[in-house]
Amino acid sequence: MQLTQICLAAAKGLALTTVLTLVACIDLKQSIEISDGFASYQMEMRMNAALAQLDAENLGKFCESNDDLRLEVSGRLKRTIKQSYEGEDIVCRMRIVGPIQEFGEQMTEMPKGDLTRMLNFQMVDETTLRIESTFEPSDDMTTSSAEEKAMISAMMQGRVLTWSVKAPRIIESSGEISADSTQVDWSVPMAMAMQWPHTFTATVKVALPWYQPVLDLFS
């Protein structure tokens, strides 16, 4: 991802004292809510604005021009990107909204790149959606020196990689499923995520039959 590359470049190119003043490099939060046949997906990326300034020619268009958010959709799917500032962070929020069937089809057919590996949605059947989202550190990160990795870890302290899913029914997941099986949450410290690949998985029902409450009484 472009944002993790920025963090790595900073660790390689800046003096230690400078890097330590730019702590809290990046948060990455993904969520999807499925209801009444529609999906609302959001990816939120937070990055230290001072660090982002090192890579951006125009900070005002940082989110709009970021490679990690360049995802084309068509038909009834709509994508929006918003940029804001919260404390010392620049915040990018990308939202994709549309019918769940069309959402699943377009995401399944997209070429797999850095971003779409984190957006792997597949319709198993008409009512079942499979989500598999893998975050992988860059090749440069895996070949970095021990000192550079330690600096990256220090920059990532307090940052997290998270997923949240709300759906009519969560069938199974690598995250923590709520008592009523309608929500799952998963998180990994970003310092760990930058060391080796981490994958979030969930299989959900996008719709339930009208008689499901009766079945639930006997389950």
Per residue in 42-76, pLDDT tens? 999 888 777 766 655 667 777 877 766 777 888 99
| Range from 68-77, 134-143, 161-170, 178-187 carrying the lowest mean pLDDT | 134-143
Report d(CA 96, CA 80) in Å as an integer.
7
Task: Specify whether the CB–CB gap between 34 and 24 falls below 8 A.
Answer: no
Report d(CA 171, CA 154) in Å as an integer.
37
What is the rounded average pLDDT for all residues in the chain?
Answer: 78
Q: Which of 9-13, 75-79, 112-116 has the highest mean pLDDT?
A: 75-79
Report d(CA 88, CA 177) in Å as an integer.
33
**DSSP 8-class letter at 50:** H
Q: Looking at residue 199, what is its pLDDT?
A: 93
Report d(CA 160, CA 175) in Å as an integer.
14
Residue 99: pLDDT band with limits 50, 70, 90: very high
pTM of the model: 0.79
